[in-house]
């Protein structure tokens, strides 16, 4: 018989715990061109996705595909360096499997980063946007299918996907280091083609400030498990039609890479303060 998602998650968690005794408090997903944001984790153990049982392998340039378990000051962090994208052909269950694993490892706060196209005309390439809310325009929901109550409820509430408390904390840290953090709505599309200018005009009318091809499935699955979510978009380019020139993946990666230093400064300060926040939610999966 094929194993259930729950059983596969437990199997993967057992493998990871065998490799590292660290119990991560904070989860971090590093998006396109942002893999180096955590150069500075102490006592880090690195696991290639390819060696982790049940993990899908990342395939796209700019996504190395490693799980790092390490410490940022006194905070234990599990960082996914490179994510699985829906446009690669994986199912939503595969795309969000690493998030299930982070939840089962005990992560209570999750920081999701991505590179996105800017729609809000105030934004510039290089702007940093805190995700205030999202539009799921991927045409699918990662929770479709039988629900396993051990992960979370059938109909999870999405009123506050991106924790207002964590956002306030992020703004506070940004102010301390003199960094401007925009806030806005992230629209998720399936890709892999970039949008047409007409689609970007539509997204703008729908209330989107940025557009990208990730993050939303992960945020939904994290909320399903009661994990607090913070979302950060690096505006790598202005979306199609806002800037006149064609979009190229290499340029998007390069633009994201240029912002890495600022993002690292922010996360180095922010992540340790996230874990000091008191959490009252129950664990998605009880520890052994």
List of residues contacting ligand HPA (CB under 6 A): 115-117, 194-195, 211-213, 236-237, 239, 247, 252
The active-site residue out of 120, 127, 136, 214 is: 214
32 included as an active-site residue: yes
Rounded-to-integer distance, Cα 34 and Cα 261, Å: 9
Nearer to ligand HPA, 213 or 285 (CB): 213
The active-site residue out of 58, 79, 115, 284 is: 115
Contact at 8 Å (CB) between 275 and 26? yes
SS3 166: helix
Rounded-to-integer distance, Cα 201 and Cα 27, Å: 34
Residue of minimal Cβ distance to ligand HPA = 117
Q: DSSP letters along 198-267, please?
A: HHHHHHHHTT-SEEESSSHHHHHHHHHTT-EEEEEEEEEEEPBTTBSSPP-HHHHHHHHHHHHHHHHHHH
85 included as an active-site residue: yes
Cβ of residue 116: shortest distance to ligand HPA, in angstroms?
Answer: 5
134 included as an active-site residue: no
Nearer to ligand HPA, 211 or 230 (CB): 211
Cβ of residue 134: shortest distance to ligand HPA, in angstroms?
Answer: 13
Contact at 8 Å (CB) between 114 and 217? no
User: Which of these, 216, 214, 217, 16, lies nearest to 107 by C-alpha position?
Assistant: 16
Nearer to ligand HPA, 34 or 68 (CB): 34
Cβ of residue 232: shortest distance to ligand HPA, in angstroms?
Answer: 14
Cβ of residue 252: shortest distance to ligand HPA, in angstroms?
Answer: 5
Rounded-to-integer distance, Cα 233 and Cα 228, Å: 17
Nearer to ligand HPA, 182 or 228 (CB): 182
The active-site residue out of 20, 49, 63, 187 is: 63
116 included as an active-site residue: no
Peptide linkage before 233 cis (omega within 30 of 0): no
193 included as an active-site residue: no
Cβ of residue 238: shortest distance to ligand HPA, in angstroms?
Answer: 8
The active-site residue out of 32, 120, 163, 233 is: 32
Q: Which residues are catalytic?
A: 32, 63, 85, 87-88, 115, 213-214, 237, 249
């Amino acid at each position: 018989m094929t194993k259930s998602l729950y059983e596969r998650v437990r199997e993967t968690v057992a493998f990871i715990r065998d490799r590292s005794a660290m119990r991560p408090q904070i989860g971090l997903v590093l998006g396109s061109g942002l893999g180096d944001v955590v150069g500075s984790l102490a006592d880090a153990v690195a696991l290639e996705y390819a060696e982790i049982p049940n993990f899908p392998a990342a395939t796209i340039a700019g996504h190395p595909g490693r799980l790092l378990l390490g410490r940022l000051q006194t905070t234990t962090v599990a960082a996914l360096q490179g994510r699985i994208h829906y446009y690669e052909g994986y199912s939503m269950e595969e795309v969000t499997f690493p998030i299930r694993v982070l939840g089962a490892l005990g992560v209570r706060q999750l920081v999701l980063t991505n590179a996105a196209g800017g729609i809000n005309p105030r934004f510039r390439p290089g702007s940093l946007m805190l995700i205030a809310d999202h539009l799921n325009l991927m045409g699918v929901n990662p929770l479709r299918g039988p629900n396993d109550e051990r992960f979370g409820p059938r109909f999870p509430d999405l009123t506050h996907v991106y924790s207002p408390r964590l956002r306030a904390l992020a703004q506070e840290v940004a102010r301390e280091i003199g960094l401007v953090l925009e806030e806005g709505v992230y629209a998720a599309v399936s890709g892999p083609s970039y949008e047409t200018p007409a689609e970007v005009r539509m997204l703008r009318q729908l209330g989107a400030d940025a557009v990208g091809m990730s993050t939303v499935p992960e945020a939904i699955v994290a909320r399903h498990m009661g994990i607090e979510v913070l979302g950060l978009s690096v505006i790598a380019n202005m979306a199609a039609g806002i800037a006149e020139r064609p979009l190229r993946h290499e340029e998007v990666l390069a633009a994201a890479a240029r912002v890495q230093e600022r993002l690292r400064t922010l996360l180095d300060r922010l992540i340790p303060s996230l874990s000091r926040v008191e959490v009252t939610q129950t664990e998605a999966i009880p520890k052994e």
